[in-house]
């Protein structure tokens, strides 16, 4: 119930305006956000790299209202791509179609993504496409499918909770996608997505098994011990090497586990948000762990 309210709140522009102007404790935002600038994000990334952990850089911001904003975001990502090879090689960027303008104009979004993929290919950097709300999910997959042939290293996130995911995955016959399997963070109806947490976990485990058996270099974006254990055991059973897939986690969540996995010989990549538009991202993180809500409310009253 609280989770759904928080997800609902994450979509409210009015609340965003209100809360973004309030004095939030630095601690709460900085737990999940690496900094406000690319420079700060690169410094955190370099620190993680020294521990054997890779990063995917996420410029905060989503659901842009006009194409100028999406062009600005595209150019900011271009700067990130150019910085990666010299400063933090092996890092990827994660992009959100709603930030690239899919809601305003899907063709413009495809052009922006294409610009990023071309620049990234020139610099030897891989791109990951986030999967957002189901209102833009099918459009995202359509654009991804069109660009996959030319840029086969591009990764797309797929949500285990969403009912059409298995069918979508099986629809890629000619070019197999590199995916990031996640549970799904958005407020969806029962018709679109499974809501029961246990059921989502079971679907995640089934899909992870399918991905390990059928797809190149899958990534598993989860902090759930049950899902992680299942991925490890399945890879072992199928004879998939620990370096042929990766675990991905969110900056600020389960830090100790990152190093444990690296020590066990697994590849780990941290999704690292930076920028100033943290509101919807932070609200989704609250929804995943309502225990954080108390901290959040206390920070709102300036404690």
Ligand X SMILES: Cc1cc2nc3c(=O)[nH]c(=O)nc-3n(C[C@H](O)[C@H](O)[C@H](O)COP(=O)(O)OP(=O)(O)OC[C@H]3O[C@@H](n4cnc5c(N)ncnc54)[C@H](O)[C@@H]3O)c2cc1C
Q: Per CB under 6 A, does 62 bind ligand X?
A: no
Interaction of residue 100 with ligand X, rule CB under 6 A: no
10 near ligand X, rule: CB under 6 A = no
Question: Is 237 one of the annotated active-site residues of the chain?
Answer: no
Give least dist CB 153 to ligand X, A.
17
**Region of residue 124 (left: phi > 0; alpha: psi -120 to 50; beta: else):** left
CB of 297 to ligand X, least distance (A): 16
CB of 174 to ligand X, least distance (A): 24
Identified binder of ligand X from the candidate list 97, 184, 273, 280, rule CB under 6 A: 184
131 is in an annotated binding site: yes
Selecting among 111, 180, 267, 269, the annotated active-site residue is: 180
Per rule CB under 6 A, is residue 159 in the interface with ligand X?
Answer: yes
Query: What token pair was written down for 18?
Result: 């209100």
Q: Looking at residues 127 to 146 of the shown chain, list those that interact with ligand X (rule: CB under 6 A).
A: 130-131
The distance in angstroms from the start CA to the end CA of the chain is: 26
Nearer to ligand X, 9 or 249 (CB): 249
Q: Is 274 helix (H, G, I), strand (E, B) or coil?
A: strand
Would the annotation count 159 as a binding residue?
A: yes
Pair 24, 286: CB distance under 8 Å:
no
Tell which one of 81, 141, 185, 207 touches ligand X (CB under 6 A).
185
Site residue total, ligand X (CB under 6 A): 25
**How far apart are the C-alpha atoms of 76 and 80, rounded to whole Å?**
7
Query: Could you give the string, one character per residue 218-257, with x where binding to ligand X holds by CB under 6 A and - elsewhere?
Result: ---xxxx--x--------------------xxx--xx---
Q: Which is nearer to ligand X, 70 or 248 (CB)?
A: 248
Strand partners, 221: 248
* Whole-number Å distance between alpha carbons of 280 and 81: 24
Q: Which helix (H) or strand (E) holds 270?
A: strand 267-274
Cβ–Cβ < 8 Å for 270, 248: yes
180 is a catalytic site residue:
yes
Asked if 183 is part of the footprint of ligand X (rule: CB under 6 A), the reply reads: yes
Are 78 and 41 in contact by the 8 Å Cβ rule? The answer is no
Closest alpha carbon to 208 in 244, 182, 188: 182
DSSP strands (E only) in 107-245: 127-129, 155-159, 178-182, 219-221
Nearer to ligand X, 111 or 180 (CB): 180
Using CA atoms, how far residue 252 sits from 31, 33, 217, 271, in Å, is 5, 8, 24, 9
List of residues contacting ligand X (CB under 6 A): 130-131, 157, 159, 180, 182-186, 221-224, 227, 248-250, 253-254, 271, 285, 288-289, 292
Give catalytic residues, as residue numbers: 130, 180
Which residues contribute to the annotated binding site for FAD? Answer: 131, 159, 183-185, 197, 222-223
Which residues contribute to the annotated binding site for substrate? Answer: 96, 284-285
């Amino acid at each position: 119930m609280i989770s759904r309210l928080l997800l609902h709140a994450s979509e409210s522009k009015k609340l965003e305006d209100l809360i973004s102007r309030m004095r939030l404790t630095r601690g709460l935002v900085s737990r999940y956000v690496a900094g406000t600038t690319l420079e700060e994000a690169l410094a955190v990334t370099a620190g993680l790299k020294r521990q054997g952990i890779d990063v995917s850089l996420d410029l905060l911001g989503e659901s842009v209202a006009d194409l100028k904003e999406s062009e600005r975001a595209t150019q900011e990502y271009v700067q990130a791509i150019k910085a990666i090879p010299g400063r933090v090689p092996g890092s990827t960027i994660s992009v959100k179609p709603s930030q690239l303008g899919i809601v305003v104009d899907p063709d413009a979004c495809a052009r922006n993504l294409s610009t990023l993929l071309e620049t990234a290919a020139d610099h030897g950097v891989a791109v990951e496409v986030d999967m957002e709300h189901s209102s833009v999910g099918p459009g995202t997959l359509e654009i991804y499918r069109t660009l996959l042939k030319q840029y086969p290293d591009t990764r797309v996130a797929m949500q285990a909770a969403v009912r059409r995911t298995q069918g979508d995955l099986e629809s890629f016959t000619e070019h197999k996608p590199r995916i990031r399997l996640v549970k799904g963070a958005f407020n969806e109806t029962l018709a679109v997505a499974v809501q029961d947490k246990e059921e989502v976990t079971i679907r995640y485990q089934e899909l992870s098994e399918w991905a390990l058996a059928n797809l190149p270099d899958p990534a598993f974006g989860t902090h759930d011990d049950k899902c992680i254990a299942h991925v490890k055991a399945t890879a072992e059973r199928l004879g998939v090497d620990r370096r042929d897939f990766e675990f991905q986690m969110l900056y600020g969540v389960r830090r100790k586990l990152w190093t444990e996995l690296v020590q066990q010989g697994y590849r780990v990549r941290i999704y690292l948000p930076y920028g100033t538009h943290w509101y919807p991202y932070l609200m989704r993180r609250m929804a995943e762990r309502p225990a954080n809500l108390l901290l959040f409310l206390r920070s709102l009253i300036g404690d």
